[in-house]
């Protein structure tokens, strides 16, 4: 986990339903929070929907700025 944090890399988990991707992502995020990092969790569909709606509403540039405030 330290490598992801130090390099500020995105973490993408994929695979079949029910194998623990969400559980693992939340656990990593919780541990990062315990170390003082600012994190955000999105399910892929929710993130895509948010970006599509922002684009339709002319707010995409504003929505794309918030990830720069996150550590992880």
pLDDT in tens, 6-58: 777 777 888 999 999 999 989 988 988 898 888 888 888 888 998 999 999 99
For the chain, the helix, strand and coil percentages under 3-state DSSP, each to the nearest 5: 60, 0, 40
Query: Which pLDDT does position 70 carry in this prediction?
Result: 66
Q: What is the domain count for the chain?
A: 1
Tell me the C-alpha distance between 13 and 28, whole Å.
12
DSSP E strands, 1-72 = none
The SS3 assignment for 50 reads helix
> Residue 15 phi/psi, 5° resolution?
155, -175
What pLDDT band is residue 69 in, cutting at 50, 70 and 90?
Answer: low
User: Which structural domain, as residue segments, surrounds residue 43?
Assistant: 2-69
Query: Which pLDDT does position 71 carry in this prediction?
Result: 63
Query: Which pLDDT does position 49 carry in this prediction?
Result: 93
Distances (CA, A) of 69 to 37, 58, 61: 11, 21, 14
């Amino acid at each position: 986990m330290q490598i992801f944090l130090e390099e500020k890399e995105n973490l993408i988990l994929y695979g079949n339903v029910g194998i623990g991707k969400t559980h693992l992502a939340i656990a990593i995020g919780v541990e990062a929070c315990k170390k003082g990092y600012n994190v955000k969790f999105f399910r892929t569909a929710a993130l895509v929907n948010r970006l599509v709606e922002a684009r339709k509403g002319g707010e995409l540039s504003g929505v794309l700025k918030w990830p720069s405030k996150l550590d992880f």
